[in-house]
Chain A
């Protein structure tokens, strides 16, 4: 008898924990509220099934515990009951799947007006590049990466000249403007993840991956690496600062373009050579 009571307490405790938990998701700061809603829906349906199944099991433990003078029912199959349960489950599962797929469809279709951000990951840090006035990012190659070309931009690509290099592990984003995050890695897998934005995707060396979101709350956020990338994984942090349009444009104007950076290095080189000659 006490077995049933303990199981009952476990189930009641689980429900109470869920209601009163201080640990729950962070305030959302992007357009992906639909993910939260689908989680909530899954919680209600799935949690309901969990509680119902466990309560039924506990009822059986109380009601049908062993008595020498009683016999169990002998009924190998109940086709009708099995059919009802199969269809009810199928319907329930379909009801959960549908919103999941609808949101995924939004997730994989990037809005046309999204600004592209090149997020380049390495062991263990992040750096960012934005398209310049032409609105296009220059093509890149790992082999081009050097001190004077930190993103490996192809020097012949005209789109690359005006690309904006962010010399920081913090990227600024404009509030209420969709962003397409283009992920690259020069060494191993990484994953650029801000819990408040909900979205994530791995950066894979050898290819460019992407995802998008629309930040909708001004503030500073921490970036975490969410794909194991070696011994420094846990320390691979970065930042995002979401700003209103005005502030964002001020920040943007303070950043250096690829052209400016190249020129600065050339000057450094020339100066360095002069020094060496003296």
Chain B
């Protein structure tokens, strides 16, 4: 699709010379793009090592900093999951682990993976790196605030990790931090541990708000000439919508963290009713534990989509580029992202069907939840319809995308079980839930992250990751993760509850022992397989093949920078001018099977592009 122009006018005469011309050639009529309304921003270029690599204002460096910090927390989360699986599969080998330890590992694993790993990685990592490049800006609009955002995140991570070393250890309240147990003795880490967790979350939200404002305003205000909203890559749409969600949802987390801190430190009773503990009535009264759950899930459910929407966007772009075909139904995809984002604020209490809230809420929230399935299903159809009649490169990137489709559809379907209120009753708080959310918001987004790493590594580092290692990495991860979570659903059917340190000898649980051993072994292997990527990256940086510019023959702007990897300022002397959407692949009549966004209509006059 290209600019609007009138086909009846006879530009045919000029076209042959224009076709051979350089990108700069411009036909004043058909290539018209509105002039810029404001001048370019001034950038502060760092002078010293510290300004260039530590307290750096370049969004790309900040993106890499976010990425590496998030990956560090992810590795901590991975090790914690190994320890949990050791206890569940082989308790005789985990003699050193008490129930306190187990619950602390469960809690920290959950919180780290959802907030400090996935959210930070998608928005802080990919968002920072890709937004300015993809919309054709030189940097984020507030580079200094952007730098502060990362360092705030860094401090939040440091505080979180410090909680491992305080007396009593980190909190073991479960990642949902439900009061009253969270701040009462009887839950591990109910002293210093929970305080540090609440402080860390508050810092995260503050830092994240700084970053989020940047992402939103950069996308709204700093797009280059011709980059209309409906010409943005879906990656940008996904990250943009997720950021809007985060801006609206994180305040709920912040206030609940503050209120809980007050309950803990000043004995206020926001969430604390009258409580009898060890024969004594505590100095609380009148608070509502369910209020916390509403606040938490008002944040917590959009949070799922804060992770999922960037993944949706990124995977759409990866599939399109590697299937050499335009994304099917682009406008539907955009509206689905926006629609899912909006709906995600009306479904939170589906996490609370059996929480003791007024049961009549169940009707409303089951209905809204299942409505969300419709735009989500449309996205799935459009991904596979993009593959249909494509020219699919089955490379490492595409494998991760295919793995994403399988795991996401699987996890999405089990979501229909859990969203459908009365079906949720027997399944809630069982292993079915664990299997569901790991499949849909653990493994599926991880598949996208991995695909994105293999896809954009040549841009970031200028070298191609090793394909063979990449395929091994994919197959072990995909098959391993699938064999962890697919059978786990069936433990949930039996009724095995989550967050159990030990199963004892309940008759219907003994049959689960064998499966638990199998799942644990698979978990050890999948975790270890991630180090194939670490090895691949180190090897590639040392001896890898140099990447040519735009090795995947993609259309979006990030591949058309003046240098690879792009320097501070991203583009050369002049910012690129955009004439089309990023999905003009395999256009009939075009010389190559791709037409970059910067190509003017007059350069491809013989092609049958549709207009956007």
Q: Verify if B389 is at the interface (C-beta below 8 Å from A).
A: yes
Q: Verify if A35 is at the interface (C-beta below 8 Å from B).
A: yes
Query: Is there contact, CB below 8 Å, between A77 and B409?
Result: no
A35 neighbours in B (Cβ, 8 Å): 422-423, 425-426
- Interface flags, A136-153, vs B, CB<8A=1, else 0: 000000110100000000
CA distance A35 to B414 in the complex (A): 15
Query: Is there contact, CB below 8 Å, between A206 and B324?
Result: no
Q: How far is the CB of B572 from chain A (nearest CB, A)?
A: 31
Q: How far is the CB of A151 from chain B (nearest CB, A)?
A: 12
Number of A-B contacts (CB under 8 A): 325
Count how many chain B residues have C-beta atoms less than 8 Å from C-beta atoms of the other chain.
114
A56 neighbours in B (Cβ, 8 Å): 384, 388
Query: Is there contact, CB below 8 Å, between A204 and B399?
Result: no
Q: Verify if B583 is at the interface (C-beta below 8 Å from A).
A: yes
Q: Verify if B538 is at the interface (C-beta below 8 Å from A).
A: no
Q: Verify if A61 is at the interface (C-beta below 8 Å from B).
A: yes
Query: Is there contact, CB below 8 Å, between A23 and B99?
Result: no
A67 neighbours in B (Cβ, 8 Å): 391
Query: Is there contact, CB below 8 Å, between A142 and B406?
Result: no
A199 neighbours in B (Cβ, 8 Å): 425-426
Query: Is there contact, CB below 8 Å, between A23 and B506?
Result: no
Whether A72 contacts B187 in the complex (CB less than 8 A), given A3-B394, A104-B366, comes out as no
CA distance A94 to B324 in the complex (A): 36
From A68, which residue of chain B is reached at the shortest CB distance? B391
Whether A104 contacts B362 in the complex (CB less than 8 A), given A32-B426, A78-B329, comes out as yes
Query: Is there contact, CB below 8 Å, between A42 and B423?
Result: yes
From B356, which residue of chain A is reached at the shortest CB distance? A209
Q: Verify if B563 is at the interface (C-beta below 8 Å from A).
A: no
Query: Is there contact, CB below 8 Å, between B174 and A86?
Result: no
Query: Is there contact, CB below 8 Å, between B384 and A70?
Result: no
Q: Would you list which residues of chain A between 162 and 207 have a CB under 8 Å from chain B?
A: 183, 186-189, 191, 193, 195-196, 198-207
Query: Is there contact, CB below 8 Å, between B389 and A205?
Result: no
CA distance A261 to B371 in the complex (A): 54
Whether A3 contacts B402 in the complex (CB less than 8 A), given A71-B391, A189-B181, A231-B103, comes out as yes
Q: Verify if A240 is at the interface (C-beta below 8 Å from B).
A: no
Select the stretch in B118-126, B235-243, B268-276, B305-313 that faces chain A: B268-276
Select the stretch in B46-54, B372-380, B451-459, B597-605 that faces chain A: B372-380
A100 neighbours in B (Cβ, 8 Å): 366, 420-423
Count how many chain A residues have C-beta atoms less than 8 Å from C-beta atoms of the other chain.
99
B187 neighbours in A (Cβ, 8 Å): 188, 230-231
Q: Would you list which residues of chain B between 478 and 497 have a CB under 8 Å from chain A?
A: 479, 482, 486-487, 490-491, 493-495, 497
Q: Verify if A47 is at the interface (C-beta below 8 Å from B).
A: yes
Whether A73 contacts B389 in the complex (CB less than 8 A), given A35-B422, A143-B281, comes out as yes
Query: Is there contact, CB below 8 Å, between B366 and A108?
Result: no
Select the stretch in A126-134, A221-229, A249-257, A266-274 that faces chain B: A221-229
Q: How far is the CB of B67 from chain A (nearest CB, A)?
A: 28
Q: How far is the CB of A102 from chain B (nearest CB, A)?
A: 8
A86 neighbours in B (Cβ, 8 Å): 374, 378
B289 CB contact (under 8 Å) in A17, A32, A101, A206: A206
CA distance A60 to B387 in the complex (A): 6
A77 neighbours in B (Cβ, 8 Å): 328-332
Q: How far is the CB of B232 from chain A (nearest CB, A)?
A: 15
From A34, which residue of chain B is reached at the shortest CB distance? B422
Q: Verify if B354 is at the interface (C-beta below 8 Å from A).
A: yes
Residues of A that sit less than 8 Å from B by CB: 3, 6-7, 10-11, 14, 17, 21-26, 32, 34-36, 38-39, 42, 46-47, 49-50, 53-54, 56-57, 60-61, 64-67, 70-78, 81-82, 85-86, 89-90, 93-94, 96-97, 100-101, 103-105, 107-108, 122-123, 142-143, 145, 183, 186-189, 191, 193, 195-196, 198-207, 209, 222, 224-235, 237
Between A and B, 27 residue pairs with Cβ closer than 8 Å are A23-B515, A25-B426, A42-B416, A46-B413, A47-B413, A54-B406, A60-B392, A71-B324, A74-B585, A74-B608, A89-B378, A94-B370, A97-B367, A100-B366, A142-B276, A143-B281, A188-B186, A188-B187, A193-B495, A199-B426, A200-B354, A205-B274, A228-B498, A230-B181, A231-B99, A231-B186, A233-B501
- Which A-B residue pairs are the 7 nearest by beta carbons? A206-B273, A195-B495, A209-B356, A100-B420, A188-B181, A72-B325, A46-B413
Residues of B that sit less than 8 Å from A by CB: 1, 99-100, 103, 172-174, 178, 180-181, 184, 186-188, 273-277, 281, 286-290, 323-326, 328-332, 354-356, 359-360, 362-363, 366-367, 370-371, 373-374, 377-378, 380-382, 384-385, 387-394, 399, 402, 405-406, 409-410, 413-414, 416-417, 420-423, 425-430, 475, 479, 482, 486-487, 490-491, 493-495, 497-504, 506-508, 511-512, 515, 583, 585-588, 593, 608, 610
